Structure 1
């Protein structure tokens, strides 16, 4: 299409932009209806977007795909990105099903297994393109998402409170009935209010930065690492692909046990430990300059990011219990913007320093890790203050 670098950059970023920003309203909408309807809407929009891209490939590519079709390409790319926004919807839907002490495990499993797709795609997609062509890769993507829509429609259910509300019970009766059946988390009564309520609670915003650092940072590195390995260390294409896919899969899968660690040890402690590991990895990749130590740094960053992502959503229902959907929308939406904002910063270091800028760019993660550790310390201090304010129960005469 003879696009400029700026046009290419915006084209690559547009699905991440829509997928990030739509997390905010759709995440809040969960508090109105439990999540199934907004999840399905986002998936269907994603199918339309991917199908549109596939149609453009089979009808226009390569002779007729000119710059005049660039706006249409952006439009279908933006629709395809809607599927990314299902993350915050699923966080809210899953969260209402589980008691507070199991939030870390439940959300870690949901997010950890769900986030393996970038790593799997990095390995599988080039093989499909090599054997069957670019159009086949989009056809496979359509088939996967359509199957996902069908399975989700058949198997997914909203938590008990939302099922009772759909049957016509009042909020009070539904809350009482669902509470007697074991549900512990309940929503505000409308989407806008839950967004406002979550935004008013200052604890939401440190969690946004923590998630920006580790999930937004994860998305940014998934897109950046292949270029980093090939350009800075002159690896082969497949070595760069394997290292990038390994990073993505490790960071995603470690999120599953990371949620359990956060449940047992406390989200704050796990967050500090994982962010410290991220800091060590960023220091290695910035200053080591050697291939082996940089691989060790990548592993540290992958583990640190994955575990901290689980810790954040373990802490979220604890700090914002009355607006989980709204808070997950803010955290998931603004946090994921790191995948849109960080790559240009990494590229700017290359512009400033030349090839060595590929290493110096990881200083961005040093700064983000330090700021996130400091804000986690603020959350811990606030929690201790609240615990000191709570009156200690006096023993009754009988127990004495």
Structure 2
């Protein structure tokens, strides 16, 4: 085995660059790859965690915005929808910025950019501020949601295929939990200082952003092999599986972020909870959904992402059915129970769907006749590029949920109609997962070696699911 060489700063005036990276090589992985990947994963989680907190800031600040702010429930739903929309849109350029600037370099830039919306909110967060001003700042908070795309694209390149479900689950789960943490901090401030002190929440995040930026600059690495790979973007856009997985990711991550932003507002406006009562409940779902995401990735590593995703959508359909029933009966305990189960399932599905992505492109590499390192490099290129697009489309699901709830409240004064729509979407996601990835009549992507060293017979290939192992 050729000894791995590491060159830092050899192709850039500044920065830390690793020019050789082969995580599929067991020797390389055990000797130095695992340690380097883990360090970058930890620091990626820190920055992404704070990014999610900033992105979901308006969902917490809405609890501080009493009648003196002059904003009705529909207006608050629209503010969080704007933040979600911008975050989803920016995920596309953020995801491809990793190839252009380097994972470490872009993490530093994107972390530092979180200061802009945080400081802006510190300046304007008070009664009398115009709704237009709040809208403009909501646009700025979108940069926090975009961090996810660059972070996932970057970490995907660090880990071997057999560990991607776990690694991507840990990275995303650690980031997602930023939603729950900012809600917990908001709850603490409301309980201790009252709902008239939103600036305390914002002030707490300024030093955290600075620390995350400095740590990323000091200890993260760029991977030279993924530099300037613009062809991967074009290939991923043309690949139908990118858009199929984006459709499924709307159902998992779109639900997670949409419900995270909207849960407190629903509790206040449909069940007449006070800001403190709502804040004491809103963090539970995002917290559990974030913690369970690595479990979804690990289950997908062991059982196959498509199988876990299919059963997860079936369970989500049942959970949202409970939410619909609770909404109609106006049963707060049942509503909360159903919603918490739904949050947990969105987290599991987030882990399993993202595990599917590298597996799909690995299977497609084999279908093209690629093997070994060539197949691994192809899969890393395409899966990393597609994650930016899939993450962006998934983020738009959060916009859809908040807009659907806004319309439902405007029309009927409750969220029941929106929840019925969500139920139908989960049924569609389950059907697509089965039809594309698990249907027994689907052709296998390529003939593969059998355990005895032979080739799988054509009849056997047709009998087994094409992507069941993804």
TM-score normalised by length of structure 1: 0.81
Aligned partners of 1:74, 1:271: CA distance in 2, in Å? 36
Distance 1:211 1:393, change over 3 A: closer
Cα 1:386–1:5 change in 2 (3 A) is: same
Give me the whole-angstrom Cα distance separating, in 2, the residues matched to 1:257 and 1:2: 43
Paired position in structure 1 for 2:64: none
CA distance in 1, matches of 2:427, 2:339: 18
Candidates 260, 263, 285, aligned match of 2:323: 285
Q: Which residue in 2 is equivalent to 1:375?
A: 432
In structure 1, stretches of 5+ residues that fail to align are 166-173, 175-186
Q: 1:18 and 1:390, CA in 2 relative to 1: closer, same or farther beyond 3 A?
A: same
Residue 259 of structure 2 is matched in structure 1 by: 221
Q: Relative contact order (C-alpha < 8 Å, sep 6+): which is higher? A: 1
User: Does the residue aligned with 1:390 lie in a helix, a strand or coil?
Assistant: coil
Q: Which residue of 2 aligns with 1:18?
A: 86
**Could you say which residue in structure 2 is the equivalent of 1:70?**
132
Q: After superposition, where does 1:102-251 map in structure 2 within 5 Å?
A: 102-128=163-189, 131=193, 133-158=197-222, 162=223, 165=224, 187=226, 189-191=228-230, 193-251=231-289
Mapped pair 1:86 → 2:147: yes
Tell me by how many angstroms 1:76 deviates: 4.0
Give how far 1:155 is off: 2.3
Structure 1 residues 277-356: aligned runs within 5 Å: 277-288=315-326, 289=329, 290-320=331-361, 321=379, 322-354=381-413
What displacement does 1:380 show?
A: 1.4
Q: Is the 8 A contact 1:251 1:303 kept in 2?
A: yes
Aligned 8 A contact 1:23 1:88 in 2:
yes
Contact 1:24 1:326 in 2 (8 A): no
Instruction: Please state how far the C-alpha of 1:98 moved relative to its aligned partner.
Output: 0.7
Q: Secondary structure at the match of 2:221?
A: coil
Measured in 2, the distance between the counterparts of 1:284 and 1:7 equals 27
8 A contact 2:320–2:342 mirrored in 1: yes
Matched length = 362
Deviates most, 233-242 or 333-342: 233-242
Aligned to 1:46: 114
Q: Does 1:362 align with 2:419?
A: yes
8 Å Cα contact 1:20/1:337 also seen in 2: yes
- Please point out which of 298, 301, 305 is paired with 1:260: 298
TM-score, length-scaled by structure 2: 0.70
Instruction: Provide the rounded CA distance (Å) in 2 between the counterparts of 1:376 and 1:368.
Output: 12
Q: Give the C-alpha shift of residue 12 in structure 1.
A: 3.5
